[in-house]
Chains A and B, each alone.
Chain A
């Protein structure tokens, strides 16, 4: 997900200008020169200026190159990540699962949704089903016990009401 500075900088310029404009069109407080519009205006302008500076590479010389720790004799080199364009998209799995939780938890209930989330995350991190399945079966109950029972968070029951 390492994007060129020109891309992130341009994005910040657009975001800054949008924020400044959004602040500009807010209704002022009657009889008062400053209201809710000032702060977004200042921030938006600042953000747009920062974006411009980043596009033109100002301040880039301050950035430290990431230190790569060289591997030593004791530490075998880890398997190189399988190449492929879609590999980077794996990073989007956790937020996708959280959104899945938002949409599914009320219908399926906490236990089922949580079990699906745990199973997918565990296998995505390279575990075999022998580990993933028991973990997915047990951990939702443990979390439910702590949050639902002890801390009284109203977790949705859904299809499978918990026995306690």
Chain B
């Protein structure tokens, strides 16, 4: 234990890791604060850079950039009422109302402080939850993996803020994309249409860059430019935060816990955590009438929640290769590339690397406080950059980055194609996160499914025989039938009430 901890310290205390972490923090803060550029996009554009770093430094950049970007989305939310990332959308109104009351410092300070606290709570959950779960997961057979993967996919569709049918359709599209190539049980070219470039399949990373970055540039083409930030002087940012922590410690803890749970659920990430926590805070508040008029309580809870979900999203990713959110989906791609293949054995064989990840999360969240304060002070200057200068650079990064993944122009074609797919899906209410999950998990789902079918030799019984498999199966089938039951319930209920009143 102590030896692994020392090893982990040795792993992260190299110049490469320290520089990578600082640079990625600044990068995450800047991208997160620019409206329209999300934390997922920041992480996706980082991937080509991580190719050229050591494994630990590569993970350090992702950890630092994603944590920082989620916080810094609060800055334009509070000052402009335009959330920098979707994760800040839930409470942008509230924070802006505080700014109009002259409490911008308090709102932004709460953003930094409770983000950092939430982030650290998330890491603690990762440290506590992951090792025992890894013990259990070691005895999993393909049947359990199959149900687990199915459950993960179903979760993503249940939590989507959209029609569950469309979410399931999006997931199927993602799974279909993962079918392309020769990496299948028969080793035959599947859906390649004779195109050699498709033999290797569709790489998840260019697909993610297309869906999250190119589609965003496409949307920017049709939406008006956000207004510039009014320049202002800030007072002390951290003043009063300790008082808030004492006053709202229960709300903060609840936000942390909700964020951790939502982070662990596959497909649901920081934005969902913030929405749920904000709603919860209002529901259980002693003074709900103050919400919406610039009340800090909701900010505390939601701010603590969205950052907690970032670290806990790594729990299913590291254990099973099932991404807890879209950022973790990218992280999984990087983990595979760096030879840290997700799985329960990671915690026994590469324990020092795991401790290094925990430590980096803690450091990133501590680093967030000074860097975040600095960022708030210079945000007015960064937000002066017009969108017409930022978007072209992102386009170039998309082109060069997707080329760099395989030194192959086909990556650029993939990015362009998935930009269009992502844009059309988003415009028509199909959640792209569900598709992304399908692409990332497709190969694993198919492998578990086909291997289980072969092992069961045509019988359906082995899918339910083992106790853990049976529990997971019940949960997955329940999740699958849930929208149907709600639909039937809604159809039947009006009839019943009508019958009751007529009687």
Say how far B1's CB is from chain A's closest CB, in angstroms: 37
Most-contacted residue by chain B among A27, A34, A38, A51 (CB, 10 A): A34
The answer, yes or no, to whether A95 is at the interface (CB within 8 Å) is yes
Question: Is the beta-carbon distance between B458 and A126 smaller than 8 angstroms?
Answer: no
Question: Is the beta-carbon distance between A28 and B165 smaller than 8 angstroms?
Answer: no
Q: CA–CA, A101 to B416, complex, Å?
A: 10
The interface bits of chain B over 143-186 (1 if a CB of A lies within 8 angstroms of the residue's CB, else 0) are 00000000000000000011111101100110110010000111
Within the complex, which residue of B388, B446, B458 is in contact with A39, where a contact is CB–CB below 8 Å?
Answer: B446
Say how far B340's CB is from chain A's closest CB, in angstroms: 21
The answer, yes or no, to whether B430 is at the interface (CB within 8 Å) is yes
Residue in chain B with minimal CB distance to A56: B165
Stretch of B58-66, B214-222, B373-381 at the chain-chain interface: B214-222
Residues of B contacting A135 in the complex (Cβ-Cβ under 8 angstroms): 389, 392
Q: CA–CA, A54 to B395, complex, Å?
A: 34
Docked complex: A82-106 residues within 8 A CB-CB of B: 87-88, 90-99, 101-102, 105-106
The answer, yes or no, to whether B496 is at the interface (CB within 8 Å) is no
Q: CA–CA, A53 to B487, complex, Å?
A: 12
The interface bits of chain B over 382-405 (1 if a CB of A lies within 8 angstroms of the residue's CB, else 0) are 000011110111011111110110
Knowing A92-B420, A98-B395, A131-B388 touch, does A27 contact B225 (C-beta < 8 A)? no
Knowing A54-B165, A59-B165, A131-B388 touch, does A79 contact B224 (C-beta < 8 A)? yes
The answer, yes or no, to whether A68 is at the interface (CB within 8 Å) is no
Q: CA–CA, A110 to B420, complex, Å?
A: 24
Question: Is the beta-carbon distance between A61 and B490 smaller than 8 angstroms?
Answer: yes
Question: Is the beta-carbon distance between B399 and A98 smaller than 8 angstroms?
Answer: yes
Question: Is the beta-carbon distance between A95 and B399 smaller than 8 angstroms?
Answer: no
The answer, yes or no, to whether B454 is at the interface (CB within 8 Å) is yes
Question: Is the beta-carbon distance between B396 and A28 smaller than 8 angstroms?
Answer: no
Question: Is the beta-carbon distance between B164 and A81 smaller than 8 angstroms?
Answer: no
Residue in chain A with minimal CB distance to B401: A147
Residues of A contacting B419 in the complex (Cβ-Cβ under 8 angstroms): 94-95, 98
Most-contacted residue by chain B among A22, A105, A143, A153 (CB, 10 A): A153
Question: Is the beta-carbon distance between A98 and B214 smaller than 8 angstroms?
Answer: yes
Most-contacted residue by chain B among A32, A40, A51 (CB, 10 A): A40
Helix, strand, loop or mixed for chain A's interface? helix
The answer, yes or no, to whether B429 is at the interface (CB within 8 Å) is yes
Residues of B contacting A32 in the complex (Cβ-Cβ under 8 angstroms): 454
Question: Is the beta-carbon distance between A102 and B165 smaller than 8 angstroms?
Answer: no
Residues of A contacting B221 in the complex (Cβ-Cβ under 8 angstroms): 90-91, 93-94, 124-125
Residue in chain B with minimal CB distance to A28: B186
The answer, yes or no, to whether B49 is at the interface (CB within 8 Å) is yes
Question: Is the beta-carbon distance between A35 and B185 smaller than 8 angstroms?
Answer: yes
Question: Is the beta-carbon distance between B166 and A59 smaller than 8 angstroms?
Answer: yes
The answer, yes or no, to whether B19 is at the interface (CB within 8 Å) is no
Knowing A40-B176, A99-B416, A139-B393 touch, does A3 contact B428 (C-beta < 8 A)? yes
Q: CA–CA, A96 to B221, complex, Å?
A: 13
Q: CA–CA, A140 to B386, complex, Å?
A: 18
Say how far A136's CB is from chain B's closest CB, in angstroms: 8
Say how far B433's CB is from chain A's closest CB, in angstroms: 15
Residue in chain B with minimal CB distance to A132: B388
Q: CA–CA, A123 to B222, complex, Å?
A: 13
Docked complex: A115-164 residues within 8 A CB-CB of B: 117-118, 121-127, 131-132, 135-136, 139-140, 143, 147, 150-155
Question: Is the beta-carbon distance between B186 and A121 smaller than 8 angstroms?
Answer: no
Say how far A16's CB is from chain B's closest CB, in angstroms: 7
Q: CA–CA, A112 to B63, complex, Å?
A: 35
Within the complex, which residue of B186, B219, B398 is in contact with A91, where a contact is CB–CB below 8 Å?
Answer: B219
Say how far A118's CB is from chain B's closest CB, in angstroms: 4
The answer, yes or no, to whether A17 is at the interface (CB within 8 Å) is no
Residues of B contacting A150 in the complex (Cβ-Cβ under 8 angstroms): 52
Interface size on A, residues (CB 8 A): 88
Residues of B contacting A3 in the complex (Cβ-Cβ under 8 angstroms): 424, 427-428
The answer, yes or no, to whether B417 is at the interface (CB within 8 Å) is yes
Question: Is the beta-carbon distance between A95 and B420 smaller than 8 angstroms?
Answer: yes
The answer, yes or no, to whether B138 is at the interface (CB within 8 Å) is no
Knowing A35-B186, A105-B409 touch, does A94 contact B400 (C-beta < 8 A)? no
The answer, yes or no, to whether B48 is at the interface (CB within 8 Å) is yes
Question: Is the beta-carbon distance between A63 and B184 smaller than 8 angstroms?
Answer: no
Residues of B contacting A117 in the complex (Cβ-Cβ under 8 angstroms): 392, 395-396, 399
Knowing A36-B186, A43-B172, A62-B164 touch, does A131 contact B389 (C-beta < 8 A)? yes
Q: CA–CA, A101 to B450, complex, Å?
A: 40
Residues of B contacting A125 in the complex (Cβ-Cβ under 8 angstroms): 220-221, 225, 386-388, 391-392
Residues of A contacting B191 in the complex (Cβ-Cβ under 8 angstroms): 19, 22, 40
Say how far B122's CB is from chain A's closest CB, in angstroms: 27
Question: Is the beta-carbon distance between A46 and B227 smaller than 8 angstroms?
Answer: no
Say how far B203's CB is from chain A's closest CB, in angstroms: 15
Say how far B84's CB is from chain A's closest CB, in angstroms: 15
- Please name 7 pairs of A and B residues whose Cβ atoms are closer than 8 Å in the assembled complex, sorted by A: A38-B449, A75-B227, A81-B224, A121-B392, A125-B392, A126-B388, A127-B389
Measured CB to CB, the residues of A under 8 A from B are 1-3, 5, 8, 12, 15-16, 19, 22-23, 26-29, 32-40, 42-44, 46-47, 50-51, 53-54, 58-64, 69, 72, 75-76, 78-79, 81, 87-88, 90-99, 101-102, 105-106, 110, 114, 117-118, 121-127, 131-132, 135-136, 139-140, 143, 147, 150-155
Measured CB to CB, the residues of B under 8 A from A are 48-49, 51-52, 81, 93, 161-166, 168-169, 172-173, 175-176, 179, 184-188, 190-191, 214, 217-222, 224-225, 227, 386-389, 391-393, 395-401, 403-404, 407, 409, 412-413, 415-417, 419-420, 423-424, 427-430, 445-446, 449-450, 453-454, 458, 483, 487, 490
